[in-house]
Amino acid sequence: MADIDALTSSAYSQALEVIASVEPRIAEATRQELADQRGSLKLIASENYASPAVLLTMGTWFSDKYAEGTVGHRFYAGCQNVDTVEALAAEHARELFGAEYAYVQPHSGIDANLVAFWSILAHRVEGPWLEKAGKKNVNDLTDDDWEALRRELGNQRLLGMSLDTGGHLTHGFRPNISGKMFHQQQYGTDPETGLLDYDALAAKAREFKPLVLVAGYSAYPRRVNFAKMREIADEVGATLMVDMAHFAGLVAGKVFTGDEDPIPHAHVVTTTTHKSLRGPRGGMVLATEEYAPSVDRGCPMVLGGPLSHVMAAKAVAFAEARQPAFRTYAQQVADNAQSLAAGLQSRGTNLVTDGTDNHIVLLDVSSYGLTGRQAESALLEAGIVTNRNSVPADANGAWYTSGIRVGTPALTTRGFGHDEFDNVAELIVQVLQNTEAGTTKAGTPSKASFVLAEGVADKVKDASAEMLDKHPLYPGLDLA
């Protein structure tokens, strides 16, 4: 991470002074958050550090503007500058990913997925239904027509990756809206290897015949062959939707190419704009021209007013990702994940799929006699920030879990390399080896409480500090 110059540092300091003049507790919490992030090993796979330019872009008067609609077709007056911002963000996104169409309004990854789902339904179900009924649009429908269309829209099939094998809540998990709006089934991984079994997936698709086949993951530590996924979708007449929220940075950075790049193969691709892409928190939909008109109706179909200040920050982040340095960064993210996985395995830790070839490493901590929640809490006490995660056929369920998910994007941004990630693996193992499951007040085994051996947390924090001091976060930024 490049040094922050005096002008940028002054901008942040003065901004916090302005905030403190109104609510000093917010200013103090902001300062403390920077201190906490500077002093911890951030290994949450879905987190990163945005550049000062991206962060500063969000704090402008674009936040004050309503702009429902699309470029050149707004429901509010005075949106000419928002049009510029949104057009630039979409242009950078198309060029960065080689996509035919980009929609940069979604506020989050879940919003992006909802836009995608309803766009597919509008394109595949509503459009043909209206044509058959001799109607131009939904405004022409009678009450009886509308009820018939609603039954048609609400009875479509979705096939997505199960949560415990690496999928996301929005890929058809029943408690999530995606599991309620679709007749859904889920595919998993090979129980022996933990890897995607494309033949089994194809067989399930032939039997279920989904309208939407969702590919992508939030906790699968391997690459996906999207050419094969498209073949499966085409065979059963499904739309292939890829959620690349986690690995978008590896696609943008050309680590994933050919069959592993979803853009040439999917009809619709969704993503967040933070995580490995290192932008502001937000979402985006990429699509073929065929689906563009439906996606373009995201507002008001699903979304409210677009966040113009965040779209501006997306444009800045995409411009950064188009620079050659981002490709170097993306490759280092993948290389560092290999180093972290090798370091953990050499010290006896069990990894789901026996390794990684993306940015995610998924530990099965049951061999340490711990649940994921106990391991997560013990690691946090030692200054290592991770998140618990299900493993395939997890006996502890989705709350306590048996796994810990770690990722390399954030520490790679700070400049960590092979040696540092091997040291990180050593520190993780030290904590896990010196943690025991606790008991409840009644003396029965607990899935939440833990006991970390005395002195281990301080020892790990001291070792972490040596590495963190060599790779400061936002160097040159002084908020004292």
Segment 296-317 shows an average pLDDT of: 94
pLDDT of 478 reads 87
Torsion sign, CA atoms 253, 257, 262, 266: positive
pLDDT for 3 beyond 80: no
Asked if residue 359 and residue 227 are part of one domain, the reply reads: no
Asked if residue 341 and residue 281 are part of one domain, the reply reads: no
Tokens of 405: 């998910």
Measuring CA to CA, which residue among 33, 97, 45 is closest to residue 407? 45
Provide φ and ψ at 136, rounded to 5°. Answer: -80, -40
Q: Contact, 121 vs 153, CB < 8 A?
A: yes
pLDDT of 138 reads 83
| Domain termination site, one of 321, 345, 380 | 321
Write the burial class of residue 12 (CB in 10 Å: 0-12 exposed, 13-18 middle, 19+ buried). buried
Asked if residue 239 and residue 112 are part of one domain, the reply reads: yes
Q: Is residue 49 part of a domain?
A: no
Asked if residue 240 and residue 112 are part of one domain, the reply reads: yes
pLDDT for 304 beyond 80: yes
Q: How many CB atoms lie within 10 A of CB 218?
A: 23
Asked if residue 224 and residue 204 are part of one domain, the reply reads: yes
Q: How many CB atoms lie within 10 A of CB 177?
A: 14
Kindly give the pairing relationship between strand 403-407 and strand 183-187. unpaired
Q: How confident is the model at residue 119 (pLDDT cuts 50, 70, 90)?
A: very high
Q: Is residue 34 part of a domain?
A: no
Q: Is residue 245 part of a domain?
A: yes
pLDDT for 233 beyond 90: yes
pLDDT for 328 beyond 80: yes
pLDDT for 2 beyond 80: no
Q: How confident is the model at residue 132 (pLDDT cuts 50, 70, 90)?
A: confident
pLDDT for 263 beyond 80: yes
Write the burial class of residue 229 (CB in 10 Å: 0-12 exposed, 13-18 middle, 19+ buried). buried
| Domain termination site, one of 304, 321, 338 | 321
CATH code of residue 362: 3.90.1150.10
Q: Is residue 43 part of a domain?
A: no
pLDDT of 434 reads 98
Asked if residue 398 and residue 450 are part of one domain, the reply reads: yes
Q: Is residue 148 part of a domain?
A: yes
E-assigned strand segments in 296-420: 350-351, 360-364, 384-385, 387-389, 403-407
Active site residues: 66, 68, 243, 272, 275, 281
Fill in the amino acid letter for 22.
Answer: V
pLDDT for 442 beyond 90: no
Q: Is residue 194 part of a domain?
A: yes
Cα–Cα dist 87/77, whole Å? 17
Cα–Cα dist 314/95, whole Å? 14
Q: What pTM value is reported for the model?
A: 0.95
Q: Is residue 378 part of a domain?
A: yes
Cβ neighbours for 295, distance < 8 A, ≥ 6 positions apart: 101, 103, 115, 116, 119, 268, 285, 287
CATH code of residue 101: 3.40.640.10
Asked if residue 369 and residue 276 are part of one domain, the reply reads: no
Q: Contact, 263 vs 65, CB < 8 A?
A: no
pLDDT for 217 beyond 80: yes
Q: How confident is the model at residue 77 (pLDDT cuts 50, 70, 90)?
A: very high
Segment 300-306 shows an average pLDDT of: 90
Q: Contact, 187 vs 323, CB < 8 A?
A: no
Asked if residue 252 and residue 383 are part of one domain, the reply reads: no
Cβ neighbours for 214, distance < 8 A, ≥ 6 positions apart: 158, 159, 160, 161, 167, 171, 172, 241, 242, 243
Provide φ and ψ at 477, rounded to 5°. Answer: -85, 115
Cα–Cα dist 358/120, whole Å? 28
pLDDT of 382 reads 98
Write the burial class of residue 64 (CB in 10 Å: 0-12 exposed, 13-18 middle, 19+ buried). exposed
pLDDT of 389 reads 96
pLDDT tens-digit profile of 350-407? 999 999 999 999 999 999 999 999 999 999 999 999 999 999 999 999 899 999 999 9
What is the average pLDDT score of the chain? Answer: 95
Tokens of 424: 């990180």
Q: Contact, 383 vs 374, CB < 8 A?
A: no
Q: How confident is the model at residue 5 (pLDDT cuts 50, 70, 90)?
A: confident
pLDDT tens-digit profile of 179-194? 888 999 999 999 999 9
Asked if residue 76 and residue 165 are part of one domain, the reply reads: yes
pLDDT of 128 reads 92
Asked if residue 350 and residue 258 are part of one domain, the reply reads: no
Tokens of 99: 């996509």
Q: How many domains does the chain have?
A: 2
pLDDT of 177 reads 83
Asked if residue 276 and residue 228 are part of one domain, the reply reads: yes
Q: How many CB atoms lie within 10 A of CB 107?
A: 16
pLDDT for 257 beyond 80: yes
Provide φ and ψ at 159, rounded to 5°. Answer: -120, 115
| Domain termination site, one of 321, 356, 384 | 321
pLDDT of 14 reads 92
Q: Which domain holds residue 389?
A: 324-470
> What is the DSSP-derived secondary structure letter of residue 102?
E
Q: Contact, 205 vs 184, CB < 8 A?
A: no
Q: Is residue 24 part of a domain?
A: no
Cα–Cα dist 277/253, whole Å? 9
pLDDT tens-digit profile of 392-441? 999 999 899 999 999 999 999 999 999 999 999 999 999 999 999 999 88
pLDDT of 435 reads 97
E-assigned strand segments in 228-288: 239-243, 268-272, 283-287
Cα–Cα dist 63/415, whole Å? 32
Asked if residue 139 and residue 278 are part of one domain, the reply reads: yes
pLDDT of 256 reads 98
E-assigned strand segments in 135-263: 157-161, 183-187, 212-216, 239-243
Cα–Cα dist 352/182, whole Å? 30
pLDDT of 288 reads 98
**Regarding predicted confidence, which is higher, 229 or 479?**
229
Torsion sign, CA atoms 342, 348, 351, 354: positive
pLDDT of 443 reads 85
